[in-house]
Amino acid sequence: MSSHFDLPDTYTEFPPAFLTVTACNDWLASVPMANPSQAQVMLLRQLNLLHRFSLASSTRLKLLEAIRQTVIEVQRDVAKKFANKPLPLSPPEQSALDGTMAVWQALLLGYLRLFDAVATGDAEVAGQGALIAQRALSVFADWEVDLCRGEKLPDGSFWRRLHSVFALAEKLKFTTIEVRDAARHGNEPTNVVSAYAEAHLLHAASPFELPSRHLDWIARWSRRWGNKVSLSTHGAPTDGSRASPLFVDIESDRPAGYIARDVPGARWLDTDELRKSIKARLVMLQQGELPAHLHLGEDCTQPATSLLLERVYQRWCKGGAKRKHDRRPVSGGCEFIVGFEAVHYYLSGRKPFHPPAVDSTMLREERDEMATFGQRPRHQDENYSDTHGYQVESWSLIDDWQLLDQSANGVRLQRPLKVGVRVGSGQLIAIKLGGSTRFMVGGVRWILQEDGETPTVSIGIQLFPGSALPVAVRVIDPKSNEPYHQGMRLPAMPAVHEPEAIIVPAGTFRIGRIIDMFNEGHIDRAKLLHVLDRGNEFERCTFEIVAAKTKPV
């Protein structure tokens, strides 16, 4: 066993498919990059064989360096299979996540074996300690990103191992030695502190709350800006002109946080240089500079980039996000509906959605039925919800946070992972809390699966103020006769400064777009103004009425 990282012994049986860099490159040429799942299986097998095979440390390092770039590329492609998917994951999605975690673990073990050799004085890797430590710590950062993509957070053992690698690098005085990492940093130099800080910046940004695209931005910024973070054994003065440092206990099993403690393992991550950099970028973005010109990424768009930068500025440099609402623990149950169509169905009194007629024949039939029955005909189908997979679920209420006047709030819920329908970040939901007589509509802000004796799924929900009215919505396009879709209209709530809003299917919103909102024989024609919230399947938009009619047009 190794002396520092509890690694198993090696042996001379079962060699990997390559024992030289040339042979490794030849083998990599056979890896089917067009089939990421198969490529991942092949890489995992060779990494495991390499880890347990007896090799000179210098050879092991060369082989790991030769295979690392391909590992990173394949892991990125496989992550698309499970990233930001509803929970519980399907078997193929779960398999992709499990395989990805196994590959990061195998790659990490390879570098830990090398770092152990450095610490025990192996001359084969003399002078390579800083590079090996940086490589090991960078695996933790990539691992953390993929955990978040799979709606999970690193556990205590993850942070304890991360701290142990850094502590050994600190003891050996490797923390600020510059190394090259072309796979992750291009031509820019990096070091151990940068890689260590990257993992903590990721966590401090609460990436599990973000959509997949924004998680990618945060991961990129954390990687690039880790070199703007320094580490010390004492806290920097916080007189308001500097950043509030992140506190970390390297003898603990927890990530960096905002509350310092007097413990032997106390360290501080000074983010003041990072504060200056983010602040300057925010100013230039306000002046109209493009995100790509500020090295934020070619895929970064406005205003999302500014909003995300403001988010990380608060969390990385100003002591964390300030909670807008009081939060109090509660317990109990609730009824819960998932999905745009299902929510509309139940808000409509369990009546299937029938688009209003838009041609003359259908209009005539609809008017005849309205004249006969007094309202637009609706037929309740008792089996419709089961046929279409619409379910009302019972969930355990964990806690909620709300405005003092209780007109707008949020809730956190938990249930067993494998029970009920799949739930994903960005979905529209409706919830009826205990004692309430009506459903409130909201969006899933974040979702996490948590391991344990009985695995659970926890979700954070933002509830939209007001009682939602189910309506039919269609886009007015002079070039085509657009169909009606489900929508929900929310009243203005002056007490909480919430304007009247309409919830429409994702992709509907355009500034100035004209829509019709139909309900019970009445149509309001409106112009869309702004997006208040956007999820994977919905957009909550403000609007202004431009015309009203009492019959379809």
pLDDT of residue 397: 52
Check if the beta carbon of residue 312 is closer than 8 Å to that of residue 206. Answer: no
H or E element that contains 313: helix 304-317
Separation CA 493–CA 466 (nearest Å): 7
CA–CA dist 192, 220 (Å, integer): 17
Structure tokens at 448: 């996490």
pLDDT value at residue 385: 52
CB within 8 Å of 312: residues ≥ 6 apart: 201, 204, 205, 218, 221, 278
Q: Which two tokens stand for residue 53?
A: 């095979």
Going by C-beta distance under 8 Å and a sequence separation of 6 or more, which residues neighbour residue 457? 87, 88, 414, 415, 416, 417, 423, 447, 448, 449, 450
For residue 526, give the amino acid letter. Answer: A
The neighbour count for residue 280, using CB atoms within 10 Å, is 11
Instruction: Note down pLDDT in tens along the chain; length 553 residues.
Output: 557 898 999 999 999 999 999 999 999 999 999 999 999 999 999 999 999 999 999 999 999 999 999 999 999 999 999 999 999 999 999 999 999 999 999 999 999 999 999 999 999 999 999 999 999 999 999 999 999 999 999 999 999 999 999 999 999 999 999 999 999 999 999 999 999 999 999 999 999 888 889 999 999 999 999 999 999 998 766 666 689 999 999 999 999 999 999 999 999 999 999 999 999 999 999 999 999 999 999 999 999 999 999 999 999 999 987 766 556 666 677 788 899 999 999 999 888 898 887 554 444 544 554 455 444 444 445 455 555 556 666 655 554 433 223 334 788 888 888 877 889 999 999 998 777 788 899 999 999 998 888 898 888 899 999 999 999 999 998 888 889 999 999 999 998 889 999 999 999 999 999 999 999 889 999 999 999 999 989 999 999 999 877 655 4
The per-residue pLDDT for 73 is 98
Give the pair of three-digit tokens for residue 403: 């405005």
The pTM score is 0.87
φ, ψ for residue 85 (rounded to 5)? -90, 150
Per the listing, tokens 């990129």 go with 220
Output the pLDDT for position 263. Answer: 96
Q: Are 118 and 128 in contact (CB under 8 A)?
A: yes
In 3-state terms, what secondary structure has residue 154? Answer: coil
- For Cα atoms 78, 80, 86, give the angle at the middle one, nearest 5 degrees: 120
